[in-house]
Amino acid sequence: MESWEDELERALGLEIGFEEDMEDELENDLFLQMVDVVSIELLGEPSIKPKARGSVPRREYGWHDREVCHRLLVKDYFCDNLIYSLRKFRRQFGMRKELFITIHDVVVAFDPWFIQRVDCTKCLGLSSL
């Protein structure tokens, strides 16, 4: 008579030997670590890039030239020589320019998180406008 493990293995087409799989995985990890050590000593760089670990895979960074966009926004709507009229501003932002600036100043005064700062890459962060 078959044991319940054999029946389950036959029915599902699986192997129950988890220990063997774990040993194989540990051997593979150890081998890859040894290859990395040797390649770093010989070539100065690892041969295999480490897999991204964690819940979210890494995403490629999309470069946004935030400084240029901020300058264009200020030049278009907030400087002395406006490119767009106050009417266009009201249509674009849904309020008068004075009200927008008042709301902006209150928000920045209330929470310093909205102040534009330099980030870890020495680039300006998002503008609060």
In this prediction, residue 48 carries a pLDDT of 59
Name beta bridge partners: 122.
none
- Residue 102's pLDDT band, with cuts at 50, 70 and 90, is very high
Q: Give the whole-angstrom CA distance, residue 82 versus residue 78.
A: 7
68-97: pLDDT as tens digits: 888 888 888 888 888 888 888 889 889 998
In this prediction, residue 113 carries a pLDDT of 85
Residue with tokens 């044991």: 3
39-69: pLDDT as tens digits: 677 666 655 566 666 666 666 766 677 788 8
3-38: pLDDT as tens digits: 666 666 666 665 555 556 667 777 777 777 777 777
The length of the chain in residues reads: 129
